[in-house]
Structure 1
Amino acid sequence: MSHLYVYSPSGAVRDRPGFKRAVKRLQALGHEVEIDPDALVSAQRFAGDDATRLAAIGRAAASRAEVLLTTRGGYGLTRLLPSLPYAAIQSSIERGSAWVGLSDFTALQLAVLAQTGGSTWAGPALLEDWAAPGPPDEIMQACFEDLCAGVGEGSGWRLPAADLRAHPELAQAEGWSVEAAALWGGNLSVLCSLVGTPYLPAIDGGILFLEDVGEHPYRIERMLSQLLHAGLLQRQRAIVLGAFNRYQLTPHDRGYKLASVLQWLRSQVSVPVLTGLPFGHVPTKVLLPLGRPVQLLVQGRDCLLFWG
């Protein structure tokens, strides 16, 4: 099995029993789990002050572990971007280390891609995905084990029928595909915070995937509007949406919901907007190679991503 390095680059770990449970679960799968010495440090809402968290990222880069796994997201990486050890991170990627995470980790992933071209993995975090009292999601675990074994070559999911009705060109008999397009994206809120900075990669003709948590549909539309007005959405070959969950509608919405946002988005762009990607703050999630060229294939309602 693999050598995993667990570190905390963003929010402080509050659930210590969950932390211990997650580590034991990974060890029971046969992994060697190395824990950063400051993984449980707390300073305000952060996992240590900025210098502490930068040092933890540096130790992760130097660890030579096969997988570098964040404890959790939250907030904290955006303020570190000017000081990240980019050369050390890129060297670890070139040695074969997989940097894995989601949510606030999107900031590091996009900054590394913009600054060095290095590819990281959108995937599980320790507390989000391994700490639950019950068993972890089988698909998430299988994808993670494939990454550890170096055998993951792609992923797929079932498109909602509404996607094909909205994009009839996808339903052609021979299928529809995008070849050799850079896969990029992540958490919508974090990505929007990087617009206009040197930490957002300038990708044309890519496949942009997005997810978010706890954001009301009108806020999701507002952030998508920012990307639209910045000219970013129109430059992609496809937009793929994962989970947008854990929000609360109110009587004031009067029927305005996430489907309303989707309908609006499709009226604004000419590229396919696909939904149902199993990724985000949900138990069932695949792992995605952020920054790598992929093939996107639609056959009937089957949507497939290949990078092997």
Structure 2
Amino acid sequence: MSPCISIVAPASHTCPTTLETAALALETMGVEIRLPASLQSPRRYLAGSIEHRLEGLYAAYADPDTQAVWAARGGYGGAHLIEHIDWSRLSPNKPLIGYSDISVLLDQCYRHGLPAIHGPVMKEAALMRHDAEEQRRVAQRHIEELVALLRDETPAPFPLHPCRQDERHVRHAALEGPVVGGNLTTLACVAGTPARFTAPPGALVILEDVGEPYYRLERALWQLVHSGAFDRAGAICMGTFEGCTPYDETSLETIFAEVLRPLALPLFGGLPVGHGLHNRPWRYGGHGCIIDGHLELKG
């Protein structure tokens, strides 16, 4: 059975034409969406006032015919809603889907015992109409994987690789636990606020980013490390860092290893998660296990 999904705009404004293209592409796959005419009431770069965005969120969760709630895009603004959300009005049977700025909302859902999926935002379904064949193919595969998650199917393992570190400083513990994380800059920006990110015990923390120079990524990582965000984590897993620019010959993996060294956390790279071509969906807070060069996601 194909899912029916409610579309919400909890953060930034999206071009309506892009949403229309995405909706048509999804319909060809048999995915029914509810795209309300009142979805956006643009205010600066935001999709609307806090009140407008909250109303859309509540309406999406209240729709008895939909099985999930899908963010139209990220951008900026998701954290605005956190202190205002009445969590009792969000259904425990509908996962919130998104990534990037939506990372903070996914994490809050997890904290409140609600399901969430880190994956493409709705507008990216428009990529199934892209001129490049590879982009069309990959975008469709990601949507198919997302639909499979909504059907409670177990995803194929995610490839990753260990990054070089001083083994004397790496904890030797079972690398399994809840899979959490998201956009590095977004998570760093809410450190010290009610929306702050704190990895649960043994967590496998996935981090990704886009368009940031390496020094800003180091700054954001340093902020999370020294604010205690990773104190109980089990490992850090690097997704893609699309369009992120180096300063010299130093690799980003080397920078991560150096900043994380005080925590003695295992570090992995190569996950197909982020703003690049590949952004495979995964259940936020689901159980994961790192074994034989793969991240296996069990629930």
* Structure 1 alignment gaps of length 5 or more: 170-175
- Tell me how far apart the structure 2 counterparts of residues 111 and 70 of structure 1 sit (CA, whole Å): 15
- Residue type of the alignment partner of 1:226: Q
Residue among 114, 120, 124 paired with 2:116: 120
Report the 3-state secondary structure (helix = DSSP H, G, I; strand = E; otherwise coil) of the residue aligned with 1:54. Answer: helix
Which residue does the alignment assign to 2:81?
80
- Secondary structure of residue in 2 paired with 1:82: helix
What do residues 273-300 of structure 1 show as CA deviations (whole Å, max 9, x unaligned)?
11111111123222121123x131321x
1:236 matched to which residue of 2?
233
Q: What is the CA–CA distance in structure 2 between the aligned matches of 1:297 and 1:99, rounded to whole Å?
A: 25
Structure 2 equivalent of residue 18 of structure 1: 18
Query: What TM-score results when the alignment is normalised by the length of structure 1?
Result: 0.84
Equivalence map 1:127-166=2 (5 Å): 127-131=123-127, 133-134=129-130, 135-137=136-138, 138-151=140-153, 153-160=154-161, 163=162, 165-166=164-165
Query: How many Å separate the matches in 2 of 1:167 and 1:127?
Result: 42
- For 1:85 and 1:37, locate their aligned partners in 2 and report how far apart those are by CA, in whole Å: 23
Q: Which residue of 2 aligns with 1:54?
A: 54
Specify every segment of 5 or more residues in structure 2 that has no aligned partner in the other structure, as ranges.
Answer: 131-135
1:298 aligns to what? Answer: 291
> 1:178 touches 1:297 (CA, 8 Å); kept in 2?
yes
> Aligned residue for 1:66?
67
Alignment RMSD:
2.4
> Which residue identity lines up with residue 222 of structure 2 in the other structure?
S
Shift in Å at residue 165 of structure 1? 5.0
* Aligned residues of 2:164 and 2:254 also touching (Cα < 8 A): no
The correspondence of residues 166-177 of structure 1 with structure 2, limited to 5 A, is 166=165, 177=174
Contact 1:102 1:123 in 2 (8 A): yes
- In 1: Cα distance, 2:190 partner to 2:201 partner: 16
Residue 129 of structure 1 contacts residue 136 of structure 1 at CA under 8 Å; is this kept in 2? no
Conserved? CA contact 1:113–1:201, under 8 Å? no
Once the two structures are TM-superposed, the CA of residue 57 in structure 1 deviates from its matched residue by 0.8
Deviations 1:42-91 (A, max 9, x none): 121111122111111111111231121111111111122111131112xx
Residue 100 of structure 1 aligns with which residue? 97
Partner deviation per Cα, 1:101-143 (whole Å, 9 max, x = no partner): 00111121222333x2323110111123434532251441331
The residue type equivalent to 1:208 in the other structure is V
Shift of 1:244: 1.1
Distance in 2, matches of 1:74 and 1:132, equals: 21
Counting aligned pairs with the same residue, the percent is 24
How far apart, in 2, do the equivalents of 1:53 and 1:100 lie? 16
Q: Which residue of 1 aligns with 2:211?
A: 214
Partners of 1:109 and 1:259 in 2: how far apart?
26
* CA separation of 1:131 and 1:43: change in aligned 2, threshold 3 A: farther
CA distance in 2, matches of 1:140, 1:168: 35
Counterpart CA distance in 1 for 2:125 and 2:296 is: 22
* 1:275–1:129 CA distance, 2 compared to 1 (3 A): farther
The total of aligned residue pairs comes to 287
Whether contact under 8 Å (2:163, 2:269) holds in the other structure is no
2:179 partner amino acid: L
State the match for 1:173 in structure 2: none
Farther-moved stretch of structure 1 (96-105 vs 196-205): 196-205
Corresponding residue of 2:249: 255
Q: Which AA in structure 2 matches 1:39?
A: L
CA distance in 2, matches of 1:25, 1:76: 27
SS for the counterpart of 2:69 is strand
Tell me the TM-score normalised to structure 2 length.
Answer: 0.87
